[in-house]
Structure 1
């Protein structure tokens, strides 16, 4: 005799299993898009893995010495190459980065150091009588060029002076011929005037030229007692 269990309305219903829906093929445009994405990522990764870096090398290196006049100005070129391309900048003799000085010094976009023409009264020894070094820097390294010694010469009228010295009888007086700083390196004292007569100086014997701060001439002073 078959006994039937009473129906429980809270029991879950069991339905006959249905076959899964058939696999749908994605549109062809989607397949092409995924292929392009995969290809792009593969090329990008391969390029990064095979990238070669090269430290900076100078193609144009600044000269060791540069002399120019205030009426002409000057440009000091510096160019370098490398992978990646290096950045160029200049430093002074004490290692500080060169900054623009309005009307006297500037750094061009291509890395050249520019000294524009300037009037005589704007001569600045910190700018026009200084040492500069070009630097090329990139993630692959930093390269320093040979320092460049810059000297500007002011073309125009200048005066030399001799200052009075007070000495006692029998002592030695030292008279200094003071030459303006902006022409010292380019002026040579060749003679002195005493009582309207020239006293010629032999450079081979004296060797007092204006490379030094002053030209020193020693004169023995003898004062007679009346």
Structure 2
């Protein structure tokens, strides 16, 4: 009888040890790679968002809407979710295929296994549709000896993706910014030009 009890206790100890070993080898999900907080892309290029995770057992990966946690799926030709955690936005035709709920959305990568669930940071996705635009600068009149301010007007739909590279006067002379923020090349007598948030400051001397 004692020998039988010893065998039972030994079996229980082995089972407990094996269970502890298996448990110690398992772990909750951890996100190893996630996209930047903001992802802007052109409709002509598309974009891939990568989300790499680890954990034991291997976590399942889905993408969700940050607003309500709803899991997203494929949208033929516009969005595809791969099992490896990559979210793909293929190139698309500009006005015909742009969809705000797909191309202007906040997403999260979500990883889950029996030990828990983790999320990536919010990823603000914005697709930019390539289209023509024109800049403009209003006429300003200034008395000699005073200053004038001109602003380069950029359409709002491209303002976040466009920067002023140069100003060109009526004679075709270009003024490009130097390292100190001044504009050089073709400096006129008594004229100094500075750049600040698309503004051109002209200082007309009295002589």
Counterpart of 2:21 in structure 1 is 50
Instruction: After superposition, give the CA deviation of every residue in 1:28-77 in whole Å (9 maximum; x if it has no partner).
Output: xxxxxxxxxxxxxx988753442122111112122111111111111000
- Unaligned ranges ≥5, structure 2: 1-12, 136-152, 164-194, 200-207
* TM-score, scaled relative to structure 2: 0.56
* TM-score, scaled relative to structure 1: 0.51
Report SS of the residue matched to 2:72.
coil
Counterpart of 2:33 in structure 1 is 60
Bigger Rg, structure 1 or 2: 1
Q: Does 1:155 align with 2:130?
A: yes
Per-residue deviation, 1:144? 0.9
Per-residue deviation, 1:128? 1.1
| Alpha carbons of structure 1 residues 204 and 107: separation in structure 2 relative to 1, 3 Å | closer
| Structure 2 Cα separation of the partners of residues 159 and 124 of structure 1 | 25
| Structure 1 Cα separation of the partners of residues 132 and 156 of structure 2 | 11
1:158·1:180 contact (CA, 8 Å) conserved in 2?
no
Counterpart of 2:73 in structure 1 is 99
Counterpart of 1:23 in structure 2 is none
Per-residue deviation, 1:203? 7.4
Per-residue deviation, 1:101? 1.0
1:71 to 44, 51, 60: 44
1:116 to 72, 90, 93: 90
Counterpart of 1:141 in structure 2 is 116
| Alpha carbons of structure 1 residues 113 and 204: separation in structure 2 relative to 1, 3 Å | closer
- Unaligned ranges ≥5, structure 1: 1-41, 161-176, 189-201, 207-226
Counterpart of 2:56 in structure 1 is 83
Counterpart of 1:127 in structure 2 is 102
Please provide the CA RMSD for this pair. 3.3
Per-residue deviation, 1:129? 1.3
1:120·1:154 contact (CA, 8 Å) conserved in 2?
yes
| Alpha carbons of structure 1 residues 44 and 106: separation in structure 2 relative to 1, 3 Å | farther
Per-residue deviation, 1:157? 3.1
Per-residue deviation, 1:159? 8.1
Per-residue deviation, 1:111? 1.1
2:59·2:113 contact (CA, 8 Å) conserved in 1?
yes
Report SS of the residue matched to 1:71.
coil
What are the equivalent positions in structure 2 for 1:186-225 lying under 5 Å apart? 186=161
